[in-house]
Amino acid sequence: MRLDPATSSNADAIAGALAGYEAGEEKLAAATEAAQAQLELLRVRNARAQLIAEVDPTSADLDQLRRLAALDRYERFAATKRRRATRKFWNYEGNPILMPLALVV
């Protein structure tokens, strides 16, 4: 996934905090993937929330409803991607069996 520089640096910071800055290359790559997936999910949720705030329920604009449906599908895809990336990261040897709640929700 291509990220803008600010988002990329955020993902790197999150990955470093998750894996530890002295982690191996594979573990750090898995942590970066999980961090990027989390940031993407937050971006989609923010876009959906903004669109919901703009929708007038009395007008029933079909284009807005289609966009909401598309964002809903994309949010589910992003959540699945985050879940898989998080599992991949936590499957590395030495990680605790239980995932932090913040990464599961």
pLDDT tens digits, one per residue of 1-18 = 556 777 788 888 888 888
* pLDDT higher than threshold 70 for residue 93: no
Q: Which amino acid is at 6?
A: A
Give 92's DSSP letter.
S
Query: For residue range 26-64, what is the model confidence (pLDDT) as tens digits?
Result: 888 888 889 999 999 999 999 999 988 888 778 778 888
* pLDDT higher than threshold 80 for residue 67: yes
pLDDT at 20: 80
Residue 81 tokens read as 């991607």
Domain count, the chain: 1
Give the residue numbers spanning the domain of 16.
5-104
Tell me if residue 31 falls in helix, strand or coil.
helix
pLDDT at 81: 92
Evaluate the CA torsion angle 17, 103, 93, 10 in order and state its sign. Answer: negative
pLDDT at 54: 85
